[in-house]
Chains A and B, each alone.
Chain A
Amino acid sequence: MKLDVRGEICPYPMLKAVEAMKRAPKGEAIEVITDHAPALETIPAQARRLGFQWQITETGAPEWVITLSRPAGGAQP
């Protein structure tokens, strides 16, 4: 599941990623596409709170994909 928040700035990427983490079907990874560098910090901070793990891939200059997923067998928030 993709969430494209390119062109959006703080706090929107974070808010939308949180909503995606709350609403996405269990077991489905969320790929957040962003060009806002602070989101590389704000989204993982929220992922940690909601029990998600994350991985950041640089895909452009500046552009990143943050992949958010629940750890297998991990505790639900």
Chain B
Amino acid sequence: MSDHTEAPNAFLVDAAWLRRRLGEPGLRVVDVRPALAQFRSGYPWGHIPGAIYLDMQQLFAVVDGVPGKLASPATGEALLGQLGLTQADHVVVYDDAGGPLAALLAWLLDFWGQAQVSYLDGGWQAWQEEGGALTDAAPLIRPAVYRARPDENKAATTEWIAAHLDHPALALVDTRTPAEFQAGHLPGALNIPWEENVNPGLAQRYRSGTTLHRQFAELGVTPDKEVVVYCETGARSAHTYWALRLAGYPRVRNYEGSWAEWRRRGGEKPAAADAGPAAVGPCGLPSAAAEPAGAGETAGPPAGRATRDQILAQARARVPELDAYEVKERLDAREQLTVVDIRERDEWVQGHVSGAHFVPRGFLELRIEELQPQRAAPIVVYCAGGVRSLLGGRDLQAMGYTNVFSMAGGFSQWKNAGLPFVVPTVLNEERRARYSRHILIPEVGEAGQLKLLESKVLLIGAGGLGSPAALYLAAAGVGTIGIVDFDAVDLSNLQRQILHGQSDIGRPKVESAADRLREINPDVQVRAHRVLLDSSNALDIIGQYDIVLNGSDNFPTRYLVNDACVLLRKPLVDASIFIFEGQVTVYDSVAGGPCYRCLYPDPPPPGEVPSCAEAGVLGVLPGIIGSLQAMEAIKHILQIGEPLAGRLLMFDGLEMTFRTLKARRDAACPVCGDRPTVTELIDYDQFCGLPARHPVAGGNGHDAAVGMLAL
């Protein structure tokens, strides 16, 4: 036990204490040792009786390129809940010898508001040395609901540090090895390796609070300071977080993102001598390399630099404030108010003001013009507590915005006032990585990616056109892709139908396609419709989707799909190909555009238009045209750009030209005209003068080239 009375209540416990308390209700023992099969070491090979196993790696993830970042509280809540933990429990953590891993979990629980956290001094090593019982039986776990209530005073973010770098009361402690420190560190940091927290021995027991206090104070880290500890990923520093707490330090924060994040977010270059605090931002963080670190480094701001309090006072004097109720009233009055939430992502995802735009502080100046180009328009900026928003408001004023307000008290006040807020649907870490190139595009972004994931696209045919379209739509994260095709893969398909491979010959195309698409992107739900599309089922199938891509190869299907889309008011991305030439257009009768029948009221006589099977097709041609269809579908889903509605794009592969022709709706069109005569699906084989029904098969039979011939 710690000999220091100011230590947190029973934080440090020894094996004897734990033996006495094992089995008490509300006392939960958590083992975080990594399992090492080759040494038969870890929880499955023996642990403290009643202990549960927690894989700490599940709580951490790569976030924005920074490894070892704390997962969102929601992820943590789910994991801790599955382990049967609640916030009211007294949790005792241990790792192999009393090191950073258990300290990290202890810090995390403390940060999230755990009622009581204890740490087995010396860990599993000490438990064994002191003859503690062990078992390989796992306890019965009843899942519980865990609620994290983060205490922001126990953590430091990159932004927080950047904003406080010049504050005289800030002490930055780098807990890595001297060599790591010398290779680069935060400006003004002191190097105190975490190993100095413990006594020698296999079991790493904390030094006494008194000893630790003396060690820190000798280096200038005194209890009157606000101490921020960091290392590479926040684990070793968590060990020192507790060393400081044991030493009686009242204000300690763990910088969980640590050097990995600081370096990643632009701190590679040494600090410029004249960089004032106003220049400090997440994209221009200073750092120092091989700087002699002494106690005097944090003595105070040099002359000519403003302190945090001065900066805030200046901002407060210039940026007018509105309280939460005033903002709510203005929004309720339907005032044209641009509300910008400048907090970090992990704050945003837990809830925000309805209608607010999410622009983290570091991107505020870069993105504000997209949101509100007019400099005189009213803008309300808010953060968590009303401090960052003052600085953000000041920066907007510097850009010429004249009507900027900071919301006093920030989102905390909004919530405390009981005003309504929304919790956003957001992408998880894996999806943010998978779609990162989309998310970077302002026209797509996270909101656009969510739209794609929620969208449902139907492909008519999994052949030449359907193949590239399906591949790109799946890769783009279109959440549901339906494929109608009755055909089986044939050797002659493989020259252009890139969904299928040699081993698929003889398989139904919908099956081969579904396998391929799931392999590209497991986010995609593939619905296989292995049917002959006809008047009896077209409305049912098409009705399940938001948009249809036509890759069919025959006229009955083409008219059928057109009529069904008009009747169901679904947009149709249509295309056809012939040897070296192709064409694409969008039929969107809802948007007032023409339909296929406006352009081609009557089918050609049977046999007049040669099919691909008869005339041939260059394999890459459907690759080009089908990809254009995918592009149009994605544009439609995202509602961006100019759709090809009312325009026919003609491609000539030999000339390598694209031309667009205007296409107009025909007021006398029998389907989409002013007085339609076709109000339900008809018999399309009969309409096209065909004697027998052709199956829908992408690119196998009669590729429609009527467009080029008819024009």
Q: Which of B26-67 contact A (CB under 8 A)?
A: 33-34, 36, 38-39, 41, 57, 67
Q: Decide if B441 is an interface residue (CB 8 Å cutoff).
A: no
Would B195 and A16 count as touching, CB distance under 8 A? Answer: no
- Residue pair A45, B34 in contact (C-beta under 8 Å): no
| B68 in complex: contacting residue of A9, A20, A42, CB < 8 Å | A9
Contact partner of A41 among B36, B176, B202, CB < 8 A?
B176
Mark interface residues in B611-622 (1 if CB within 8 Å of A CB, else 0): 000000000000
Q: Which residue of A19, A42, A50, A77 is within 8 Å of B36 (Cβ)?
A: A19
User: Among residues 279 to 318 in chain B, which have CB atoms less than 8 Å away from a CB atom of chain A?
Assistant: none
User: Which residues in chain B, 185-214, are within 8 Å of chain A measured between CB atoms?
Assistant: 193, 195, 200, 202
A18-B97, A19-B41, A45-B177 in contact; A11/B236 too (CB < 8 A)? yes
Cβ proximity bits B234-267 to A, threshold 8 Å, 1 near / 0 not: 0110000000000000000000000010000000
Mask, B327-343, CB within 8 Å of A = 1, is 00000000000000000
The reply on B96 being an interface residue by CB < 8 A is yes
CB pair A22–B202 under 8 Å, yes or no, is yes
On whether the beta carbons of A9 and B67 are closer than 8 Å, the reply is: yes
Measured between alpha carbons, how far is A23 from B36 in the docked complex, in Å?
Answer: 11
Tell me which of A1, A23, A38 contacts B41 (CB under 8 A): A23
Q: Are B96 and A15 in contact (CB under 8 A)?
A: yes
Q: Are A23's CB and B97's CB within 8 A?
A: no
A-facing residues in B70-128 (Cβ within 8 Å): 95-97, 99-101, 104
Residues of A within 8 A of B180 (CB): 38, 41
Q: How many residues of B contact A (CB 8 A)?
A: 30
Interface size on A, residues (CB 8 A): 21
The residues of B that contact A24 with a CB separation of less than 8 Å are 39
Interface: A49 (CB within 8 A) = yes
**Closest Cβ of chain B: how far from A52's Cβ, in Å?**
13
> Counting CB contacts under 8 A, is B487 at the interface?
no
Task: Across the interface, name the chain A residue whose C-beta is closest to B95.
Answer: A15
Q: Is B661 an interface residue (CB 8 A)?
A: no
B36 touches A20 (CB 8 A): yes
For the complex, give the distance between the alpha carbons of A42 and B100 in Å: 12
Q: Indicate which residue in B193, B235, B260 contacts A45 across the interface (CB closer than 8 Å).
A: B193
Which residues of chain A (37-66) have a CB below 8 Å from chain B?
38, 41-42, 45, 49-50
CB-defined contacts of A1 to chain B, threshold 8 Å: 38
In the bound complex, do residue B235 and residue A11 qualify as a contact, i.e. CB atoms below 8 Å apart?
Answer: yes
Other-chain residue from B99, B179, B193 in contact with A11 (beta carbon distance below 8 A)? B99
Give the secondary structure class of A's interface: helix
A10 and B96 contact, Cβ closer than 8 Å, known pairs A20-B39, A41-B180, A77-B202: no
Given contacts A41-B179, A41-B180, contact A10 B231 (CB under 8 A): yes
How many Å from the CB of B505 to the closest CB on chain A? 38
Contact (Cβ within 8 A) B67 A16: no
Distance in angstroms between the alpha carbons of A55 and B265 in the assembled complex: 32
Q: Please give, as numbers and ranges, the residues of chain B lying within 8 Å of A41 by CB-CB distance.
A: 176-177, 179-180
The answer to whether A18 touches B96, judged by C-beta atoms less than 8 angstroms apart, is: yes
Query: Does B232 sit at the interface, judged by CB under 8 A?
Result: yes
Whether A45 and B195, one on each chain, are in contact in the complex, defined by CB atoms closer than 8 angstroms, is yes
B554 within 8 A of A: no
Q: Which residues of A contact B33 (CB under 8 A)?
A: 15
Contact A15 B101 (CB under 8 A): yes
Q: Which residues of A contact B95 (CB under 8 A)?
A: 15
Q: Is B552 an interface residue (CB 8 A)?
A: no
Question: Which residues of A lie under 8 Å from residue B41 when comparing CB positions?
Answer: 19, 23
In angstroms, how far is the closest chain A Cβ from the Cβ of B260? Answer: 8
Asked if B233 is an interface residue, CB under 8 A from chain A, the answer is yes
Is the Cβ of B233 less than 8 Å from the Cβ of A42?
A: no
Q: How far is the CB of B487 from chain A (nearest CB, A)?
A: 43
A10 pairs with B68, CB closer than 8 A: yes
Residue in A10, A49, A50 whose CB lies within 8 Å of B235: A10
Q: Which residues of A contact B101 (CB under 8 A)?
A: 11, 15
Distance (whole angstroms) from the CB of B242 to the closest CB of chain A:
15
Q: Is the CB of A49 within 8 A of B200?
A: yes
Instruction: Please tell me which one of the listed residues A10, A16, A19, A49 contacts residue B232 in the complex, with CB atoms under 8 A apart.
Output: A10
Cβ of A49 and Cβ of B236 under 8 Å apart?
A: no
B200 in contact with A10 (CB, 8 Å): no
Q: Can you list 11 A-B contacts (CB < 8 A)?
A: A3-B38, A9-B233, A10-B231, A11-B99, A11-B233, A15-B99, A16-B34, A19-B39, A38-B232, A42-B236, A77-B202
Chain B contacts to A: CB under 8 angstroms: 33-34, 36, 38-39, 41, 57, 67-68, 95-97, 99-101, 104, 176-177, 179-180, 193, 195, 200, 202, 231-233, 235-236, 260
Interface residues of A (CB under 8 A from B): 1, 3, 9-12, 15-16, 18-20, 22-24, 38, 41-42, 45, 49-50, 77
The 9 closest A-B pairs by CB, nearest first: A23-B39, A41-B177, A10-B232, A11-B235, A11-B100, A10-B233, A38-B232, A9-B67, A41-B180
Q: Contacts A22-B202, A49-B200 known; list 12 others, CB within 8 Å.
A: A9-B67, A10-B233, A10-B236, A15-B100, A18-B96, A19-B34, A24-B39, A41-B177, A42-B176, A45-B195, A49-B195, A77-B202
